[in-house]
Chain A
Amino acid sequence: MKSFSLIICCLWIFSGGTVLQGQVIDYRTFVRIEKGKRITEKSFQIQINHKDQEDLANIEIPYSADQELDLLEAYIVDRSGQTVRKLKKKEVTVRSNISQSSFHEDDYVQTFQLHWHEFPYQIRYSYRLTEQKFIYVARWHPVLYTTVPTLSASLSVEVPADYPLAIDYSPALDYTTEKQGDVVLHRWQAKVVEVPKSETLAPPFSEIIPLATVVPQRFDYAIEGSMGSWAEYGDWHERLNASLDELPAAEGRVVDKLLAGITDQRERIQKLYHHLQDHTRYINVAIDVGGLKPYPAAYVAKNKYGDCKALTIYMKALLKWAGIPSHYVVIHAGSNPVRVKAGLPSQQFNHVILGVPLEGDTIWLENTAGYLPYNYLGTFTQNRLALWVDGMNSRLVRTPTMELSEVLEHSTYRFQLQESGQGRVEVSQRLRGKTFESLLFGRRELTDQQLQDRIEAGIPWSTVKLSNWEIIQPHRDQTDLELKLELEARDQFRRIGRLVVLQPPEIDLPDLESPSVRKQSVRIPYPVNQQDEMFYELPFLAKYRVELPDPIAIETPFGLYSEHYQLKDTGMVLNRTFQLYRGDYPLETYPELYNFIQAIRNARKQAAVVLTAVSDD
């Protein structure tokens, strides 16, 4: 960062110019397929220019139990180009590497530090990973750290000439290939070194950084499979899961009892889904091939827990016992998911759900969330391509899309205020979509106090105190709920000089970058639809002359905003609507979106009801 006083320029042996930030000078990946094994060699040359960047000297090499890791070399080169220190074996430590969402995984990380006291200096290290089981030849980003520039990055892939591959890469990468005797060499080089930044309402980060993907057309991961087509890849899943969906007889008897007398197929599925929700919980234990192969239904039947794969297989087994066919559906979950590359059959997913064909329709079951309604996917898995597993009929399908009506949040506020600004507010919110999902989660997984804290934190203004709350959902499969709040209000009027000012609660708007710095196109994965009605009961109103803000109505291709104030007897009513439409919009249209949100902000800034005492007139 530049200083007020003086910018010191220095030249050094590694690179010219003024460099203050740490850099990855060179990052090379070489993958070769040899006798069915994947051997990956990575080498790194990292320059540390300042003591503040010493985090870069703390090296971590992740690997899993089925990978053989060899640290090939690790040393420090000082500013004069001399090797001044070589890492010793005893300096390397190992620890488990378990992701936050998992209870246990057999993944590890080797760590070591290479610090030096004179800057700049370079760390150079390389390692080799050898493994038998793999489903990618390479999946490579030319960026080592998101906050540190990588000046040069390359991927080389060497495979036997008769080794079939599917290849996909971003236009930001240079690609060359050549045949060398019995092998073919593929090479990618990054053209640009700038790491893109995450931006609001943009595609996910991992979709915008360059990526090269090399997929083996045939592979052996627990069993042999092919990624020549989605049908073949789906068939591999089908065969991998074969016989896992067998329910233990004792559990089968539970199913029989549950379904006794129920003939309607929809109701039977629903009953079994509720059984799953009420008796299992999500816990991920991934060991060996557990990343892709589910635990059998018997495991969940016994433990009543499992990860998404195990719970889905268990649900499939419950249905199977009842004679209801269903399909394992592999999907990329998340409210802003990475888009599946339809032209590249491969493992592009991170989650599993279940699809149940029924009378020309499909029932979708999310099996990890005991709190969600039946046949509800929600913001986590709506509107995206997923792999429907059905032997050689496996195919990509699109999950249902959440429409405006399915995310509508309708709120009614009833203010009863005294002239002092004190009073009470009753709020009734009919919630759907993300907030609905979040409250259902809280109701199941949090204590009442924790849920109350969460509800309190979500109240959009600070001059109220939550005195009572209630969540009403008459039926667990209802896709909306009512949140009722009773609030004690204070200081509801701002007194500005002689004026008494009333400002309704704010709405939550996206915090957008200015168009001059925006780099990414716009993606709104699911719509926003908020409708507010606010009734103000102000019995003292006769003492004041009231100025209401002018009505506002803004309509754009991205959404709309309107607000309208109206006087009523001893009070006032505000009707307000904010909608943001789902979609992908090119970067060129971003200023229009920005202006839309800005226009709402400007309107909100002036949207105040001004009361002037009649005696002042």
Chain B
Amino acid sequence: MKNFVFVFCFLLSLTLRAQDPLMEFGSMSQDQINMISYDKAPDAPAVVLFDLGESYFYDFDGGYNIRFTRTRRVKIFDQSATDLAEVRIPFYADGYGKTERVASIEAFTYNFENGRPIKKAVAPTSIFEEQINERWRVKKFVFPDVKKGSVIEYRYVLETPFHFNLPDWTFQDKIPTLYSQYQVSMIPFYDYAYIAQGITEFDVKHSEEGKFERRWGNVTEAMGQSYGRGVKFKDLIHTYAIKDIPAFKDESYITSPNDYLMKIDFQLSRFYRPQGGSTDIITTWENLNESLLKNDHFGDFLKQSRKLTGKLLEKELDVSSLSEAEKAEKIIQYVKDNFSWNQTYGKYTSKSAKDLWSQKSGSAAELNLLLVAFLQEAGLKAEPLLISTRDHGKIHTEYPFEHFFNYVIAFVEAGQPFLADATSTALPFNRIPPRCMNELGLVVQEGKPVWLQLNSEITALENKQIQFKLDPDTRTATTTVSIQATEYEGYLYRTRFRDDEESLKTYFKGKGLHTVEMVRTSKYEEPDKPYIIGIKGTSEIEQIGSNLILSPFLDFPMQENLLRQEERTYPVDFIYPKMDQFRIILEIPEGYELTDAPKAFQESNELVEVNITPQQTATSLTINAHYHIKKSVYSPQEYQKIKGYLDLIIKQFNQQVVLQKS
């Protein structure tokens, strides 16, 4: 772990520095005025000229709050970038009286007429506040008179009482950034750990002592000595800067842009008491583990829940005669059946266990902590497992940052160890939703926490039997399809269509069927079994000359390769391995013969398996085929290969069958 206290790197002088008068708020250079494009990215519709962040601990009510100041200037080159004129500044209220405050906003648009800047301010009455939810608010405004050539510049001050999360800093944006700098003035009472993501080297990384002496408490000086219970100190100012940062480009099959943006995150690790001594906040995962178990909204919730579930086990839900595995299954199912997920993530609870019990609805943390308590109360080994959902980004185990996590599931050891999540009724008791499968989770337990791998290596199978009965006169084929979808493929069907006949009909019409007359399903409410779908419809037969042509796989196989980039720096994440399997039976109508059909094909290696095995008789054609994406995640080094295999699969599985009058 890198730590500010120990990191002193004095280096580099750059021609472009934050002290540069050109980066002073309101001070515009002729170059910036004249700029019509950015030479390193000539197509960029706009560029961030500079983005400067500064965090400072200011005296507040005998202690300290953090004042975060951001100053940002953007040059607009093209009309398509004028949406950058709309600015949103989120801020947080914890619901217990503490709140962040946007103390000031100054924003100006500069347009240039005859080389002279014309300055327009955002009026205070044009700054609005939006209430996103109970905890989050947004201050927002629109720059006036923004057009091609404008420079927009704003500075805001956000004051926060939350020391745990010193404001983070993202250096990269969707447009290029010429210079981005974050300066943090530390006081000796707080120690932060930080992580720099996606950054190989800072152009500036610099620490120096502040010029001014500050005091906490009463300090009296006499005869060159300091007396009193207070402390004298100077800030330690850390500066991080990067220049010429390219625009961030999103790609398919990634977990979250959050995992790849160049940024620096901080977390409070230790508090030094002015009177002497220190308290580790979270310097290790062990500390985080311990603090969670003591937390009112985590460990205490577990304890409250155990009381409630204990009573239930005594009175209503008798599991005493069951095996450990049966107990676990029954309890998990009980929680899923009796409580609803309110679509909220979270690692801490926001309501009491009693309220959850009466309201029957709660967040992922509330439901899963209740579940863990329930299992523990039934004598099973179960612990909360802290995770970060896919859209929330990855966890870096070398840095004990609490904010990596945003969700809680359950780790259960009942017979076999497995993971459980009470939020989804569309999954078996021992599976977690794909949103939760993001590398690693931390088991929170008495003693030492442990890390668990979350990614699934269980292949999800979609098995399809397709039967065609051709009618050459009407050029249609009566088509029956039977689908068995296991594991996460079944989960996807269950959650996407919720067993709704109309939605399924519409979906299958988009899969190459011309009409869908009937859809029947089975095992919808038994997520531990494959979801079964039966479809009856028609397919169109194409006629060219005397040839009848049919697509035997319909449009079920992959149709388009989403891996389009020539090269890839991020892993390709399919979440879980999957296999698409086909058995196709085509009755050859009397008086016709088969003149063309998919050829036998086989490819098998450590990345994929592709197999097509046709069998032909005088009256029928049977094709057994499958393709298997064997891994859940492919490394960037495997990118070219997997991209090529996807092309191969698309080609092989979109072949046609041709018949002619015999």
* Contact of B499 with A450 in the complex, beta carbons under 8 Å: no
- Let me know if A103 and B340 touch, CB within 8 A: no
Q: How far is the CA of A447 from the CA of B339 in the complex (A)?
A: 47
Binds B, one of A23-31, A219-227, A277-285: A277-285
- A contact residues, total (Cβ < 8 Å): 51
In the complex, what residues of B have CB within 8 A of residue A108's CB? 131
Stretch at the interface among B192-200, B253-261, B354-362, B429-437: B354-362
Given the known interface contacts A52-B499, A281-B82, the answer about A496 and B596 at a Cβ–Cβ threshold of 8 Å is yes
How far apart sit A96 and B85, CA to CA, in the bound complex (Å)? 21
**Contacting B361 at CB < 8 Å: which of A5, A113, A499?**
A113
Write the chain B residue with the least CB distance to A52: B498
Contact of B342 among A113, A446, A497 (CB under 8 A): A113
Is A605's CB under 8 angstroms from B340's CB?
Answer: no
For chain B, the bracket of interface size reads 35 or more
Give Cα A108 to B532, complex, Å. Answer: 43
Cβ–Cβ < 8 Å partners of B140 in chain A:
103-104
Stretch at the interface among A302-310, A426-434, A583-591: A302-310
28 A-B pairs with C-beta separation under 8 A = A1-B500, A1-B521, A4-B520, A51-B337, A52-B498, A85-B360, A91-B359, A96-B130, A96-B131, A103-B86, A104-B128, A104-B130, A108-B131, A115-B360, A117-B337, A302-B145, A304-B145, A304-B146, A446-B80, A447-B78, A447-B80, A496-B547, A496-B549, A496-B656, A497-B658, A608-B544, A608-B545, A610-B544
A window 78-111: CB within 8 A of B: 85, 91, 93-96, 98, 103-104, 108
A35 at the A/B interface (Cβ < 8 Å)? no
Q: Which parts of A284-341 form the interface with B (CB within 8 Å)?
A: 285, 302-305
Interface centre among A51, A94, A303, A449 (most CB of B within 10 A): A303
Q: Are A444 and B543 in contact (CB under 8 A)?
A: no
Determine the chain A residues whose CB is within 8 A of the CB of B540 once the complex forms. Answer: 605
Task: Answer yes or no: B163 CB below 8 A from chain A CBs.
Answer: no
Evaluate contact between A3 and B521: CB separation under 8 angstroms.
yes
What residue of chain B has the Cβ atom nearest to residue A109's Cβ?
Answer: B131
Is A70 engaged at the interface, CB distance under 8 Å to the other chain?
no
Q: Which residues of chain A (178-230) have a CB below 8 Å from chain B?
A: none
Query: A442's closest neighbor in chain B, by CB?
Result: B80
Measured between C-beta atoms, what is the minimum distance from B226 to chain A in Å?
Answer: 50
Question: Does the CB pair A605–B542 fall under 8 Å?
Answer: yes
Interface residue? A420 (CB, 8 A):
no
Give Cα A283 to B140, complex, Å.
Answer: 13
Q: CA A6 – CA B98 in complex, angstroms?
A: 56
Q: Are B543 and A285 in contact (CB under 8 A)?
A: no
Indicate if the CB atoms of A117 and B339 lie closer than 8 Å.
yes
Chain B: which residue is nearest A498 at the CB level?
B595
- Residue A445, interface by CB 8 Å: yes
**Which B residues lie within 8 Å of A445 (CB)?**
79-80
Which residues from chain A contact B337 at a C-beta distance below 8 Å? 51, 117
A188 CB, nearest partner CB in chain B, Å: 29
In the complex, the answer to whether A449 meets B43 with C-beta atoms within 8 Å is: yes
B606 CB-CB contact with A under 8 Å: no
With A3-B521, A113-B359, A608-B545 given, name 5 new contacts (CB 8 A).
A98-B130, A115-B340, A279-B145, A304-B144, A610-B544
Q: Which of B116-172 contact A (CB under 8 A)?
A: 120, 126, 128, 130-134, 140, 142, 144-147
- The digit string for A548-575, where 1 denotes a CB below 8 A from any CB of B, is 0000000000000000000000000000
User: Whole-angstrom distance from the CB of A542 to the nearest CB of chain B?
Assistant: 20
Least CB distance from B113 to A in Å reads 11
Per-residue CB proximity of B444-477 to A under 8 Å, as 1/0? 0000000000000000000000000000000100
Residues of the B chain whose Cβ atoms lie less than 8 Å from the Cβ of A499: 544-545, 547
Interface string of A215-258 (1 = CB under 8 A from B): 00000000000000000000000000000000000000000000
Does B323 sit within 8 A of A, measured CB to CB? no
In the complex, what distance in Å separates the CA atom of A104 from the CA atom of B137? 13
User: Is the CB–CB distance between A610 and B515 below 8 Å?
Assistant: no
Given contacts A103-B140, A117-B339, A499-B547, contact A303 B542 (CB under 8 A): no
Asked if A116 lies at the interface with its beta carbon under 8 angstroms from chain B, I say: yes
CB contact under 8 A between A514 and B545, given known A96-B131, A98-B130: no
Q: Which residue of A lies closest to B540 (CB)?
A: A605
Does B45 count as interface, using CB distance less than 8 angstroms? yes
Q: Is the CB of B515 within 8 A of A514?
A: yes
Which residues of chain A are within 8 angstroms of B142 by Cβ–Cβ distance? Answer: 103, 283, 285, 303, 305
| CB-based closest 3 A-B pairs | A117-B338, A303-B144, A304-B145
Docked Cα-Cα span, A449 to B80, in Å, equals 11
User: Please, which residues of chain A bring their CB within 8 A of the CB of B521?
Assistant: 1, 3-4
Residues A4 and B532 in contact, CB atoms below 8 Å apart: yes
Chain B positions within 8 Å of A103 at CB level: 86, 128, 140, 142
